Structure 1
Amino acid sequence: MLTGVVAGPVFTSPAVGSILAAIRAVREVGAVGILLIVKNYTGDRLNFGLALEQARAEGATVEMVVIGEDSAFTTLKKAGRRGLCGTVLIHKVAGALAEKGAGLNEIVRKVLAVAGAMGTLGVSLSPCSVPGSRPTFQLADDELELGLGIHGEAGVRRMKITTADKIVKTMLDHMTNPSSASHVTLRPGTSVVLMVNNLGGLSYLELSIVAGSAVRCLESRGIHIARALVGSFMTALEMAGVSLTLLRVDDELLNLIDSETTAIAWSQPTKVPVSGQRRERIGPKECPEEEEQCFPAGVQFSPQMRLVLDSVCNTLLSLQEKLNDLDRAAGDGDCGSTHARAARAIQEWLTATPAPVDPSKLLCVLAKLLLEKMGGSSGALYGLFLTAAAQPLRLDNDLAAWSVAMDAGIEAMMRYGGAAPGDRTMLDSLCAAAEELRALKNPKANLMQILDKAVERAEAAAESTRNMKAAAGRASYISSAHLEEPDPGAVAAAAILRAVLEGLQAKAE
């Protein structure tokens, strides 16, 4: 890619003497022409320009391109667009052209054309700090900075923290807005290289989430992502942010970007399959071959069960922060987020897909949905419970069968999960409720009265877990002295049962 790199102090242009020494070193090893690739900042332009003039006075053949692909500004200032992460693509293209034997003037012409077909925009959750100095700007805990640079300078807009999908959409809207003087022109059918760049402080997990959001958003607009690069290409110290770069490409340009390089830090681009090759699923739409079709054509969802599921989802979403707080003392603090993820998946499924009326099939479908979308041990445990509970309901779905189903689900959780009542888990709530639900086997059983007692028992059992020593799950690794709150799984299970009761009561009113 590059033959040489000249670095200055942190966020400062290198000195003219250092640049000139690099030019001389490259010339001495036989270079017939030298191209300086400079990001558009005043200090860089001045110092590299001075070094270029001195080198030319010594007889060197030197050219300079100034790259400014920042898409943050709606109106261009005299200083022009800043050079950002897209400059790395210029390095790659220029290096590939040189390797193929292109002349200096041809390389200059082509990389300038590439720079004109490219845009970059950054967003960050935090500023950065030059070692020994304060942060370069201040952000509230619920704010993001949009359109910031790589030297810690503030951006062009501040926005509230929201989901990755919404942040990426905002970034792409800003980058492609035709009314902006620094926009990238993209039309349906355009092929692009997408670069998702870590500004320094993001984890690979967070970076991958942003990359996924960017791919989905671009494809929804009819943009073909010919290549995707994800990594730390141009960072800004510890800044917890990301930048997106879009480059319009044709086959010739793609070949240059795909050219082999020995540069250690270059991340090989990924070829993104077109949307038709990737199947996006909201929920489980397949059943084992031996079962009947899960979603018979024209079948509408039972209004009563819809009220119940709506009640469960709303309850779990409202408890997200409470459950996370409880889980921080004994786990990784994501119990509420995991349950909220399940609730949102169920809500999306209810909106998009006809659901079976048959209780057994309904539980099977919910089990698959949670196994796929909820994740973690909770997703596996709920999946086990629902799968096992569905089996007795295949033969009958009267009240007695629901009691048997509850016991079957609990037995499966105990068999595969390894926990038992008294171990400070969700089983404490479920088992307490199951004892009351066995009264449903009485032919004269009153469902609402029995369920009301079962919920009260489950809530009392969940509260009692604060006095238990954890014997299973992640909490078992924590000293009992630190377990002063109820188990979040038990609280969640009791809350689900309360929501089921409220959903049935809403139907009855």
Structure 2
Amino acid sequence: MEPQKKLINAAESCVDEALLGLVRASGGLSLLRGHRVVLRSDLENLKGKVALLSGGGSGHEPSHAGYIGAGMLSAAVAGGVFASPPPGSILAAILSLHNAGASGVLLIVKNYTGDRLNFGLAAEQARNQGVAVDMVIVAEDCAFDQPSKAGRRGLCGTVFIHKLAGALAEEGCSLAQIVSKVTEILKGIGTLGVSLSPCSVPGCLPSFDLPPGDMELGLGIHGEPGIKRSKVASADEVVKTMIDHMTNPSSQSHLPLKSGDSVVVCVNNLGALSCLEMAVVTRSAILCLESLGVVVARVMSGLFMTSLEMAGVSLTLMRADKETLRLIDAKTTAPAWPNLSSVCLSGRSYITEPLTTSKRPQDEKHSEGPLSPVMHKALEKICSTLLEKQEELNSLDRASGDGDCGNTHAQAAKAIQEWLHGHVVPGCPGQLLLVLAGLVQEKMGGSSGALYSLFLTAAAGHVTEGRSDAAAWANAMNAGTEAMKKYGGAAPGDRTMLDALCPAVDELIKLTTAPSGGHMAVLQSAVKKAASGAEATRDLKARAGRASYISPNLLSLPDPGAVAVATILKAILEVLEGQK
């Protein structure tokens, strides 16, 4: 097995290059020369205030440097990937903050042995140099029913402490006051993670093996084993399992939570979940908590403390009173902190009703007219022909698309047939075209449905009860075709349905000047040109639609959309010829 692919230059330089990339992309950060330490660029604004320093191994980005800014961290120190930073760099960061005039320095440390030792050593060294230093250990992991002597791990709840302590420091609270307040708040924070895949340190094999279809509950952010493996379940089931475990009173590491409590929720992407999955999990978390009677006051969802490319998520819950929410809502310039709404989410109306509730054209009642019988026959002929051609169109589409052209046209045909069985065909052609536009828009789907609906909608205004002669129909066809070209972006020669439609419409325009006795000849010529245009698409290079992504060497059959258009026009002609 080979190491996982990474988009880096070299494993040994990736941390330094990542820090440099972060700082170069920000106007408010700087690097401490000779150390993996990121500082606020405006250190002078720390004078007389408590400075906050956090850090740990790299690979958890945006933690911790992404939380540097007014109202959050003053600096962050990074170790190698998943490795605690050295005490020398931690001390250098502390002294930089002290020399900037900070009244004290608070170290916010996740509960891992290496971090505790190295930050603790640096703190003692700084005290020997006269610096006022204190340390808060974050240990909010809810995974283990009976934690070992090492205690609960520090996870994404650390980010909440960054924010709360940062807001207090910005307000001018003393070091002792900040430590006292955040220590109390820590009692009401819990985190639990679940993973669908392992992660891998650059240049190394995956940190653990997780068979396909399995997930692991309660793992750490460095790929440490969790407490339970099971088959992947639905998002709702996974979230319920997580929250039930986190709040189980029989566990020594549970988060006490009861109905009526208010919480801030962090749905943290461990690295590789899609935005779509994250939104689904966020929904599940809100609904699950509300079903327990818990008030969801704030929600943050995204990348906050990752584990490289691990596909997984952690949930952090923090009990929150008004004071805690005030601190969460306080302003910060830290780039990785989300722009949260200050509105309580539970109980908020989140559905907006449409402004109009007008009936769909296909639901309106219509009156028949002189043209109703022939239009009814034409529709029946079109529908039956498209259903007969369903597999032929699918076969053509399999060579150039996703193989469903016949199916989508059949869906439209069946929808029209069903409508015809329960409605009269309106005497006004424009009204009928709007009905058909509504039907294909709803039932046909895909780009074909949108294109046909565009055509019919644009054409409808050109054929009314008082204006439905051959010239009006020709102008309607032209208007519909122009709308398809305008919004679809294709043109004749692009190997689309336009290659059948445009030649036919060019011929039909002659109806505006042709004598009535010559109308049928024009129609027959238009249908022939549509058929010829469709056949000619076998020699054209696709420049629009899915077929444009396929090698021209593989496209030797006519375009199915063009064939469908030619088929529809031929069906109409056959009905009109039968009326003579």
Give the TM-score normalised by the residue count of structure 1.
0.61
3-state SS of the aligned residue for 1:136? coil
Unaligned runs of 5+ in 1: 295-322, 340-357, 388-411, 426-467, 490-509
The aligned runs of 1:257-268 (5 Å cut-off) are: 257-268=328-339
Q: Distance in 1 between matches of 2:560 and 2:99?
A: 68
Q: CA deviation at 1:217?
A: 2.6
3-state SS of the aligned residue for 1:5? strand
Amino acid at match of 2:284: S
Amino acid at match of 1:288: S
Q: Which residue of 2 aligns with 1:11?
A: 82
Amino acid at match of 1:477: Y
In the alignment, is the contact (CA less than 8 A) between 2:441 and 2:450 conserved in 1?
no
Q: CA deviation at 1:186?
A: 2.3
In the alignment, is the contact (CA less than 8 A) between 1:136 and 1:154 conserved in 2?
no
Q: 1:470 to 1:262 in 2, by over 3 A?
A: closer
The aligned runs of 1:93-492 (5 Å cut-off) are: 93-271=164-342, 273-275=345-347, 277-279=349-351, 288=358, 377=447, 473-479=545-551
In the alignment, is the contact (CA less than 8 A) between 2:362 and 2:439 conserved in 1?
no
Amino acid at match of 2:339: Q
Task: Percent identity, please.
Answer: 58
Does structure 1 residue 27 correspond to structure 2 residue 98?
yes
Q: Which residue of 1 aligns with 2:67?
A: none
Q: 1:137 to 1:424 in 2, by over 3 A?
A: farther
Q: 1:382 to 1:259 in 2, by over 3 A?
A: farther
In the alignment, is the contact (CA less than 8 A) between 2:262 and 2:295 conserved in 1?
yes
Q: Which residue of 2 aligns with 1:302?
A: none
Q: CA deviation at 1:139?
A: 1.2
Amino acid at match of 1:99: E
Amino acid at match of 1:32: S
Amino acid at match of 2:358: P
Query: Could you give the per-residue CA deviations for residues 51-87 of structure 1, whole angstroms, max 9, x where no partner exists?
Result: 2222222222211111011121222221111111110
In the alignment, is the contact (CA less than 8 A) between 2:438 and 2:453 conserved in 1?
no
Q: CA deviation at 1:201?
A: 1.9
Unaligned runs of 5+ in 2: 1-71, 365-393, 409-421, 425-435, 458-479, 497-539, 562-580
In the alignment, is the contact (CA less than 8 A) between 1:202 and 1:240 conserved in 2?
yes
Q: Distance in 1 between matches of 2:304 and 2:162?
A: 12
Q: CA deviation at 1:23?
A: 1.5
3-state SS of the aligned residue for 1:121? strand
Q: CA deviation at 1:215?
A: 2.2
Q: CA deviation at 1:181?
A: 2.1
Aligned positions, number = 391
3-state SS of the aligned residue for 2:281? helix
Q: 1:197 to 1:276 in 2, by over 3 A?
A: closer
Amino acid at match of 1:263: A
Q: Distance in 1 between matches of 2:553 and 2:334?
A: 53
Q: Which residue of 1 aligns with 2:156?
A: 85
Q: Which residue of 1 aligns with 2:146?
A: 75
Choose which of 133, 137, 144 in structure 2 pairs with 1:66.
137
Q: 1:275 to 1:382 in 2, by over 3 A?
A: farther
Q: CA deviation at 1:42?
A: 0.7
Q: Distance in 2 between matches of 1:330 and 1:137?
A: 43
Q: Distance in 1 between matches of 2:221 and 2:229?
A: 17
In the alignment, is the contact (CA less than 8 A) between 1:85 and 1:233 conserved in 2?
yes
Q: Which residue of 2 aligns with 1:318?
A: none
Amino acid at match of 1:278: Y
Q: Distance in 1 between matches of 2:89 and 2:204?
A: 26
Choose which of 35, 41, 56 in structure 1 pairs with 2:127.
56
In the alignment, is the contact (CA less than 8 A) between 1:370 and 1:382 conserved in 2?
no
